[in-house]
Chain A
Amino acid sequence: MISGSKMRLDRLCKVLVLAVAFCAAPAWAAFDLPELMGLLSKQKSGEARFTEQRFVHGLEGPLDASGTLSFEAPDKLVRRTLSPRIETMAVDGNTLTLSRGNRNRTLALDSMPELLGLVEAMRGTLTGDGTTLQRYFKSTVSGAANQWTLDLTPNDSRLAAQVRSMRITGRGGEVLGLEMEFVGGDRSVMNISPKAAPSAVPASAPGRATP
């Protein structure tokens, strides 16, 4: 814990030094991945509703889905689709369980890089785990603390063969959107609306002020 906060402090110092050295850069450019992760990692668990639209070439109209998302740091994530069908994808550590009807299937998550990438993008973002994110993706952060965008491009060849890019957007410590661009041109857009849980960080206290 001590070393963790020390590291973060080191990184902050570096950011400050860089900001001073390149003072020509606009102030918001200093909002970077460690800082975003700092904001996100304050939330240890959460629940949200999502609506998703998928745009698939060759289909007449988008595919709609909606349901709930929940996560619990460090590595639990559940996506429960309520419409059009009830199905659940639950990740706990390295175990992925798919449930549909009363059938369950269990898989080792890291044996399937395509799935692993998706899960880590969600899980890493929700829990503010920058190290994991950087292991699987090249990341670019833009915006400011109250309106940020995280662009991810996969490193792993098997994931990259399927997913061109992911864009996660949010405000403060909350993730509000997830867009995926697939190889071949299909696209999926997910809107996330966090439930007003008592544990949620109030909007008036946006983590840390930008320098």
Chain B
Amino acid sequence: MSLAQAGGPPGWSRRIVVLLAWLLVVGLGAVVIARTQIGADLSAFLPKSPDLRQRVLIEQLQSGVASRTLMLGFEGGSVEQRAEVSRAVGKAMRESKLFDLVQNGDVSDWSEAGTWVFEHRYQLSSGVMPGQFTVAGLRDAIIDTLSMLGTPAGNAIKPLLDRDPTGETQRVAMELVPASAPRSEGGVWMSRDAPRALMIATTRAAGGDLDAQAVAIARVQAAYEAAARGMGEASPKLLLSGAPVFSVMSREKIKTEAMHLAVVGGIVMSVLLLLAFASPRALVIAFLPVATGVVVGTASVSLVFGSVHGLTLGFGSTLIGETVDYAIYYLIQARGAAVAGTGWQRWREVHWPTVRLGLLTSVCGFAALVFSGFPGLAQLGVFSIAGLVSAALATRYVLPVLAPDGATGMGMRRHMARLAGLLVRGLPRLRWPLAALGVAALALVLWQGGHLWRADLSAMSPVPRSAQLLDEMLRKDIGASDGGVLVVAFGDDEQAALRHTEAAAARLDALVDKGELSGYETVTRVLPSVAAQTARLASLPDADTLRANLVEATKGLPLPASRLGAFVTDVEAARKQAPVQRADLMGGPLGSVVNTLMYERPGGGWSTLVVLHPGPGFDQGRLEAALAGLPEVQVVDVGRELGGLYQRYLHEAFVQVLLGALAVVVLLGVYLRSWRRLLAVCQPLLFAVVLTLGGMALAQAALGILHLVGLLLIVAVGSNYALFFDQLRTTGRADEDTLASLMLANLTTVVSFGLIAISDIPALSSIGRVVAPGALLALLLSAAFARNVAPGKGPSPQRPR
């Protein structure tokens, strides 16, 4: 500082210290980024502290079976070709060990599962209860089993007859057959209305582990290519969908789009800056704060959140627009120093306070996002704040070292300056028409009211429409529950969760019997609670009792008791069996069922998922009524909860954005210390927001949360322009070169947000479509509403503030 006070360029030692410090920061940031995982799941944009049902939903979206389910179709070719490809791909997928569950209708490898069920039938079967082994119970059960003989099912039952005459294995097996399953043809699942074989699989890797998901998807594709090779032109084509595909696709898309935007944005910006400065050196210098901001912003998000969402990264390019402004202001405003090498000092004294205030207002705006309670938005907030602050600091400390007197070249700036002068002189005449337009826009916005904010969560999804349609089609084919309504049971530990699931299942059984539900799938069919298993085993009679009862029960039946010695032995052995536990199933053939329907909750405790097959008589109200009174069981209507989440999200975002805007206004008020000046600064911002909203309403755009964030950005970015006009008015210093810097800064902002506006990623384009016109309007309106700042005749006296 002492050197700086003496005048002249910064001293060498100071230069070295500043540059080293800066390089260290950027270098450290780069190291952090290199170790960062980039996420792309939209659940990052869901709130952190929702109610129970919403938490269940978010757990499901983030790590539940929905996030791991792949749906495959093999379309075209002959029935035999489709079946062959389906079987081959299914086999390869099962062997890869990358998948928990691979179902394509092929039941050829069920024998292992069947053996396991047979061995544990007295623990698993709901038929095992005290009455079952009385004389009457045995007789009933044996007649039931015999009635299956002499039917196509008989061949499966006959070998078990002597050991399982009461048909417990068959009971468990029948319960495991889903109530609605795809059509089976040629031994595999086929669509009911198209030449398409079907398959469904869940990846073993968690839904959030995108690298592993990408590996699993690649494995499917390789298996398909191997299977279809040699089938020629008419071979069935692979259709692949599901959450993992969407996530991986989104990540790729976000990556390429972010890269694309950065490159195009960089080129356009370079051209603009070259035109303005005609100096490659100035160009490089102008980009340093931007690069610093992006690196520090990304690294900060990584440090705070552990990972960076792809959308947050996408914002790197939006930041370019604002952070490059700092450099532009500096490079232009530090020019023309009386003593060579002191331009930076004058800039620091005259302009830095304004830049700093603009920075603070922006930080206020983004701080609202940090505290919003939505991890995704909080990331955006942290990214922007860290990025802006570091870019501003880089401008403040590094640029003076590199360019003490600002940019040297003049380029096209003289023409820009003339244009700026014309605008600034001409626009105030349009003040009243613009104000009238603003009032009209306000009326339109108020008249549209809530209808304007009709975008939903899916509007943020970068998944293209065609992929969504494919997903819908396969889902319908497979008849897999579209996850519309889920029943989830909880417990503090595995056993509690299982007991609560059994309580729910008992109520669901009643609905099934009444025909109000076609069926449901539950983990307790292969893993009953220890309590249920113990009760079942306790109802098994001892060998003597059973033997005696059998003699009575089989009288007159074609199956004499003398043949059932093995049954008595098996029951006796079962009485001594230890209850089946989750760990026993894990390595076995039914482990995948457990993995799919049961999971450890992120916050501790266990949950099970009951998958419903609603059927034609389904009524959600009756389902909820049936499960009422079981607090550990929740009915989650995914559509309704997502809608509720979004509404809550929107509402909170409104509050946060208003708070952010309020913070900006308070900050401005504190700094300006004048109601009149505050009003003058806020007026153009308010009109810019209203006019932008009016424009969106006219274009009939469905607005959502990110549009809202965009509005806050208009205020945050636009306040810079308004403040400059305020500064120009108070200092009376409005030379055309300064106006040109303002215009250039605005142009870069509008261009960068304009690029985002035409992006394929809805979340980005919705912000761009709001901010690009809004930022332009903010400048024009600031000029229009500013009075007495038109460049006077000749240079105004320069007074440090």
Interface hits, B146-169 → A, CB 8 Å: 146-147, 149-155, 158, 161
- Shortest C-beta distance, A48 to chain B (Å), equals 19
In the docked arrangement, what's the CA distance between A183 and B154, Å? 10
Segment at the interface with A among B174-182, B322-330, B772-780? B174-182
Q: Which chain A residues border B185 with CB–CB below 8 Å?
A: 113, 156
A94-106 CB mask vs B (1 if < 8 Å, else 0) is: 1001001011111
Interface hits, B107-160 → A, CB 8 Å: 140, 143-144, 146-147, 149-155, 158
In the docked arrangement, what's the CA distance between A186 and B150, Å? 6
Interface assignment of B184: CB less than 8 Å from any CB of chain A: yes
In the docked arrangement, what's the CA distance between A112 and B178, Å? 11
Of the A-B pairs whose beta carbons lie under 8 Å apart in the complex, a sample of 27, sorted by A's number, is A54-B149, A56-B149, A56-B150, A56-B158, A62-B558, A63-B149, A63-B150, A63-B558, A84-B143, A103-B513, A104-B513, A105-B174, A105-B179, A106-B518, A106-B613, A107-B177, A108-B179, A108-B180, A108-B182, A108-B479, A113-B184, A158-B184, A159-B152, A182-B152, A182-B155, A184-B155, A187-B150
- Shortest C-beta distance, A18 to chain B (Å), equals 30
Q: How many residues of B contact A (CB 8 A)?
A: 40
Q: Which chain A residues border B558 with CB–CB below 8 Å?
A: 56, 59-63
In the docked arrangement, what's the CA distance between A65 and B184, Å? 30
The reply to whether A157 and B154 contact each other, CB–CB distance below 8 Å, is no
- Shortest C-beta distance, B601 to chain A (Å), equals 32
Q: Which chain A residues border B153 with CB–CB below 8 Å?
A: 114, 162
**Main SS at interface, chain B:** loop
The reply to whether A84 and B147 contact each other, CB–CB distance below 8 Å, is yes
Q: Which chain B residues border A54 with CB–CB below 8 Å?
A: 149-151
Interface assignment of A11: CB less than 8 Å from any CB of chain B: no
Interface assignment of A31: CB less than 8 Å from any CB of chain B: no
Closest Cβ neighbor of B560 among chain A residues:
A60
Interface assignment of B464: CB less than 8 Å from any CB of chain A: no
Other 4 A-B pairs with CB < 8 A, given A55-B150, A156-B185, A183-B155: A102-B513, A104-B513, A186-B150, A186-B154
The reply to whether A110 and B158 contact each other, CB–CB distance below 8 Å, is no
Interface hits, A68-109 → B, CB 8 Å: 81, 84-85, 87, 94, 97, 100, 102-108
In the docked arrangement, what's the CA distance between A63 and B151, Å? 11
Interface assignment of A163: CB less than 8 Å from any CB of chain B: yes
Q: Which chain B residues border A156 with CB–CB below 8 Å?
A: 185-186
In the docked arrangement, what's the CA distance between A170 and B181, Å? 35
Interface hits, B553-581 → A, CB 8 Å: 558-560
Closest Cβ neighbor of B156 among chain A residues:
A162
Q: Which chain A residues border B147 with CB–CB below 8 Å?
A: 63, 65, 81, 84-85, 87
**Residue of B151, B161, B479 ringed by the most chain A CB atoms within 10 A:** B151
Q: Which chain B residues border A188 with CB–CB below 8 Å?
A: 150-151
Closest Cβ neighbor of A159 among chain B residues:
B152
In the docked arrangement, what's the CA distance between A182 and B149, Å? 10
Q: Which chain A residues border B547 with CB–CB below 8 Å?
A: none
The reply to whether A111 and B183 contact each other, CB–CB distance below 8 Å, is yes
The reply to whether A163 and B152 contact each other, CB–CB distance below 8 Å, is yes
Q: A61-B558, A106-B615, A107-B179 are in contact. Are A56 and B184 (CB under 8 A)?
A: no
In the docked arrangement, what's the CA distance between A100 and B558, Å? 22
Interface assignment of B588: CB less than 8 Å from any CB of chain A: no
In the docked arrangement, what's the CA distance between A115 and B151, Å? 9
B263-274 CB mask vs A (1 if < 8 Å, else 0) is: 000000000000
B193-220 CB mask vs A (1 if < 8 Å, else 0) is: 0000000000000000000000000000
- Shortest C-beta distance, B517 to chain A (Å), equals 9
The reply to whether B144 and A182 contact each other, CB–CB distance below 8 Å, is no
In the docked arrangement, what's the CA distance between A131 and B161, Å? 38
- Shortest C-beta distance, B174 to chain A (Å), equals 7
- Shortest C-beta distance, B177 to chain A (Å), equals 7
Q: A84-B147, A103-B513, A104-B513 are in contact. Are A110 and B192 (CB under 8 A)?
A: yes
The reply to whether B515 and A112 contact each other, CB–CB distance below 8 Å, is no
Q: Which chain B residues border A180 with CB–CB below 8 Å?
A: 150
Q: Which chain A residues border B189 with CB–CB below 8 Å?
A: 111
In the docked arrangement, what's the CA distance between A186 and B153, Å? 12
- Shortest C-beta distance, A76 to chain B (Å), equals 15
Closest Cβ neighbor of A117 among chain B residues:
B152
The reply to whether A162 and B152 contact each other, CB–CB distance below 8 Å, is yes
Q: Which chain A residues border B146 with CB–CB below 8 Å?
A: 59, 63
Q: Which chain A residues border B90 with CB–CB below 8 Å?
A: none
Q: Which chain A residues border B560 with CB–CB below 8 Å?
A: 60
- Shortest C-beta distance, B655 to chain A (Å), equals 48
Closest Cβ neighbor of B479 among chain A residues:
A108
Interface assignment of A26: CB less than 8 Å from any CB of chain B: no
Interface hits, A93-148 → B, CB 8 Å: 94, 97, 100, 102-108, 110-115, 117-118
In the docked arrangement, what's the CA distance between A149 and B696, Å? 74
Interface assignment of A58: CB less than 8 Å from any CB of chain B: yes
Interface assignment of B343: CB less than 8 Å from any CB of chain A: no
The reply to whether B183 and A110 contact each other, CB–CB distance below 8 Å, is yes
In the docked arrangement, what's the CA distance between A97 and B512, Å? 11
Q: Which chain A residues border B518 with CB–CB below 8 Å?
A: 106
The reply to whether A157 and B186 contact each other, CB–CB distance below 8 Å, is yes
- Shortest C-beta distance, A184 to chain B (Å), equals 6
Interface assignment of B187: CB less than 8 Å from any CB of chain A: yes
A153-181 CB mask vs B (1 if < 8 Å, else 0) is: 00011110011000000000000000010
In the docked arrangement, what's the CA distance between A117 and B146, Å? 21
In the docked arrangement, what's the CA distance between A106 and B179, Å? 5
Q: Which chain B residues border A112 with CB–CB below 8 Å?
A: 177, 184
Nearest 5 interchain pairs by C-beta: A54-B150, A111-B181, A162-B152, A110-B183, A59-B558
In the docked arrangement, what's the CA distance between A199 and B790, Å? 100
Closest Cβ neighbor of A163 among chain B residues:
B152
In the docked arrangement, what's the CA distance between A110 and B559, Å? 33
- Shortest C-beta distance, A109 to chain B (Å), equals 9
Interface assignment of B519: CB less than 8 Å from any CB of chain A: yes
The 8 Å CB contact of B152, one of A81, A115, A187, is A115
**Residue of A100, A110, A163 ringed by the most chain B CB atoms within 10 A:** A110
The 8 Å CB contact of A110, one of B140, B184, B515, is B184
In the docked arrangement, what's the CA distance between A12 and B152, Å? 36
Interface hits, B518-577 → A, CB 8 Å: 518-519, 558-560
- Shortest C-beta distance, A124 to chain B (Å), equals 17
The 8 Å CB contact of A56, one of B154, B181, B513, B514, is B154
In the docked arrangement, what's the CA distance between A65 and B144, Å? 12
Q: Which chain B residues border A56 with CB–CB below 8 Å?
A: 149-150, 154, 158, 558
Q: Which chain A residues border B512 with CB–CB below 8 Å?
A: 104-106
Q: Which chain A residues border B513 with CB–CB below 8 Å?
A: 102-104
Q: Which chain A residues border B151 with CB–CB below 8 Å?
A: 54, 118, 188
Q: Which chain B residues border A118 with CB–CB below 8 Å?
A: 151-152
- Shortest C-beta distance, B154 to chain A (Å), equals 6
Q: Which chain A residues border B150 with CB–CB below 8 Å?
A: 54-56, 63, 180, 182, 186-188
In the docked arrangement, what's the CA distance between A186 and B154, Å? 9
- Shortest C-beta distance, A58 to chain B (Å), equals 7
In the docked arrangement, what's the CA distance between A103 and B508, Å? 12
Closest Cβ neighbor of B616 among chain A residues:
A95
The 8 Å CB contact of A158, one of B149, B180, B187, is B187
Q: Which chain A residues border B187 with CB–CB below 8 Å?
A: 157-158
In the docked arrangement, what's the CA distance between A55 and B559, Å? 13
Closest Cβ neighbor of A118 among chain B residues:
B152
In the docked arrangement, what's the CA distance between A72 and B295, Å? 73
Q: Which chain B residues border A61 with CB–CB below 8 Å?
A: 558
In the docked arrangement, what's the CA distance between A32 and B38, Å? 69
Interface hits, A30-56 → B, CB 8 Å: 54-56
- Shortest C-beta distance, A23 to chain B (Å), equals 39
The 8 Å CB contact of A59, one of B182, B183, B515, B559, is B559
Closest Cβ neighbor of A55 among chain B residues:
B150
- Shortest C-beta distance, A186 to chain B (Å), equals 6
In the docked arrangement, what's the CA distance between A111 and B103, Å? 13
In the docked arrangement, what's the CA distance between A112 and B174, Å? 12
Q: Which chain B residues border A114 with CB–CB below 8 Å?
A: 152-153
The reply to whether A106 and B519 contact each other, CB–CB distance below 8 Å, is yes
Q: Which chain B residues border A104 with CB–CB below 8 Å?
A: 512-515
